[in-house]
Amino acid sequence: MNINSLSNRYEDCDCEGYFNGQYIAGLRRSFRLSRKEKQNNQIEAKQTEQADTLELLTYEEVTKYQQQPGEKQRLIVLIGSLGAKLNELKQKVVSENPQEYGVAVPHTTRSKKIHEKEGVEYNFVSKQSFETDVQQNKFVEHGEYKENLYGTSLEAIRSVMAKNKVCLVDVVPDAVKHLRTPEFKPYVIFVKPLIAEKKKSVPTSPTSEEISAPLQDEEQQEIINSAVFIEEQYGHLIDTVLVKEDFQSACNQLKIVLEKLSKDSFWVPVSWVRL
């Protein structure tokens, strides 16, 4: 599945939803497509997802692995349910310690805006160049929005790791399997919002808040469903689950996990460490 997460890192709004009819964790609200307009696409996408995830899970031999001094840093892969806002977490961690952490700069075919700098917000490339890279499987994930192409390349990840920094990327869950190689030794973190149970009350009179409640309930259910789907279909690829109660606590949890990675040992496939 080549559809790109285009999570919050693409453009400048804050939302989550669907992209080209497929579920995308962390996608900004302005990217969200009308359910009625895209109903057929979503049905097709769901069938594709189900086919993609019907993989035979076989036993994978594992061993304890601890990163050694001077060894290349492991890739940190964030996946999330709706509402996870992965990009905010990622950018916060990097901004607090840019010497140790970095993010892969995405590619795009759209025109550069006045305030943007090449290689900072994006790597700006031609459509022909982008499509050539797609054919050569140089992207972890990619997609299209408003006739512009966006994607995260393997080279963008490698460039961060070459600086001996910990590279953080957020991708759609299906892209994780393409990163599970000895080169990246990915540590996969699943981020999901904490869903608080609502207290039931009998309304005395209808209010605007009560009128909008069904929509809020529906959105909450979508978050729950997306989290359940990811855990059921991709749980075997997840190393740890981070429950996001609020932004700051989630940042703190993420930093604790990152600190442990360089000190503790973890189970990894034998093929990742076998000489």
For the chain, the average pLDDT equals 78
Task: In whole angstroms, give the CA distance from residue 37 to residue 33.
Answer: 7
What total number of domains does the chain contain?
Answer: 1
- What are the pLDDT digits (tens) for 157-209? 999 999 999 999 999 999 999 999 999 999 999 999 887 655 444 454 554 44
Q: Is residue 240 part of a domain?
A: yes
What CATH number is given to the structural domain containing 28? 3.40.50.300
pLDDT of res. 106: 94
DSSP state of 45: H
Report pTM: 0.75
Q: Is residue 181 part of a domain?
A: yes
Q: Is residue 94 part of a domain?
A: yes
- What are the pLDDT digits (tens) for 20-55? 333 343 333 333 333 333 344 443 444 444 445 445
Handedness of CA 2, 17, 44, 231 (dihedral sign): positive
Q: Which residue type sits at 81?
A: S
pLDDT of res. 69: 85
Q: Is residue 58 part of a domain?
A: no
Q: Is residue 256 part of a domain?
A: yes
pLDDT of res. 24: 41
Q: Is residue 59 part of a domain?
A: no
Q: Is residue 5 part of a domain?
A: no
Range of the domain at 88: 17-53+65-195+207-273
pLDDT of res. 238: 95
- What are the b/e assignments for 131-170, b being 16+ CB within 10 Å? eebeeeebbbbbbebeeebbbbbbebbebbbeeebbbbbb
Q: Is residue 263 part of a domain?
A: yes
Question: In percent, how much of the chain has pLDDT > 70?
Answer: 71
- What are the pLDDT digits (tens) for 140-151? 999 999 999 999
- 190 in Cβ contact with 80 (< 8 Å): yes
